[in-house]
């Protein structure tokens, strides 16, 4: 389906939860035109509501639809994150010039970060982008906890060091969220030890290549 060209005005009363459920339902159809019409009407729809349509575009290899939604989500607390996702999809499609333009826009808006610099180099561009500290999201923004986690990791972890990234994630959950009565859903720290112990007690299957294990994870995040 073609993307709608007009943007109808949004009604004064808007319920993001209802819009999200409707968008999910319309995104399961073979024809996504109803989903696009609703998305155009619901200009205040959050990333949580638009996620179903974004996923449908990705599964159906509708790159233009993906880019439209990522560009729309590149506002507020999600600005740098959504724009980075847009850059990655452009790079996957070989559209490096377009990717560089988005990165330069991020720099001009004061939203580029260390990840932007890595992508800039990956595009084969010379020089460097200015890196700014990620702005903290509003507490009412969707994904505000994840965005605060990202900002913490970019500030405290060492680039290219996966272990330091994991450590920073665990520190954020323990030192930042727990004192505020919140929690982070990651299989790290003490939980990782429990999982490792459970796996150690599993009985291996026999195979020609030696012991083998089957692991089923339910409820991935």
Query: By C-alpha distance, which of 105, 48, 55 is closest to 73?
Result: 48
Tokens of 39: 């998305």
Q: For residue 21, give every residue at least 6 positions away whose Cβ sits within 8 Å of its Cβ, in sequence order, or none.
A: none
Predicted pLDDT at 13: 62
Percent of the chain's residues with pLDDT above 90: 47
Compare 14 and 162 and report the one with higher pLDDT: 162
Q: What is the pLDDT of residues 58-74, one digit of tens each?
A: 999 999 999 999 999 88
Predicted pLDDT at 5: 47
C-alpha span between 64 and 5 (Å, rounded): 13
Q: For residue 86, give every residue at least 6 positions away whose Cβ sits within 8 Å of its Cβ, in sequence order, or none.
A: 67, 70, 71, 74, 102
> pLDDT category, 183, cuts 50, 70, 90?
confident
- Tell me, letter by letter, the H, E, C secondary structure of 54-97: HHHHHHCCCHHHHHHHHHHHCCHHHHHHHHHHHHHHHHHCCCHH
pTM over 0.75: no
> pLDDT category, 221, cuts 50, 70, 90?
low
Query: By C-alpha distance, which of 45, 38, 54 is closest to 16?
Result: 45
């Amino acid at each position: 389906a073609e993307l709608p060209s007009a943007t109808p005005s949004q009604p004064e009363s808007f319920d993001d939860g209802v819009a999200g459920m409707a968008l999910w339902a319309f995104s399961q159809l073979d024809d996504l035109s109803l989903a696009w019409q609703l998305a155009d009407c619901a200009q205040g729809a959050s990333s949580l509501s638009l996620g179903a349509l974004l996923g449908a575009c990705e599964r159906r290899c509708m790159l233009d639809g993906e880019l439209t939604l990522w560009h729309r989500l590149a506002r507020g607390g999600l600005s740098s994150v959504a724009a980075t996702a847009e850059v990655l999809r452009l790079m996957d499609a070989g559209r490096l010039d377009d990717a560089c333009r988005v990165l330069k826009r991020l720099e001009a808006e004061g939203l580029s970060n260390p990840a932007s610099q890595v992508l800039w180099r990956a595009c084969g561009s010379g020089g460097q982008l200015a890196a700014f500290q990620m702005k903290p999201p509003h507490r009412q923004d969707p994904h505000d906890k994840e965005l605060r986690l990202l900002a913490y990791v970019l500030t405290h972890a060492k680039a290219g060091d996966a272990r330091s990234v994991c450590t920073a994630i665990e520190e954020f959950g323990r030192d930042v969220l727990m004192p505020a009565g919140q929690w982070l859903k990651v299989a790290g720290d003490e939980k990782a030890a429990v999982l490792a112990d459970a796996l150690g007690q599993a009985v291996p299957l026999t195979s020609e290549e030696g012991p083998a294990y089957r692991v089923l994870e339910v409820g991935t995040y």
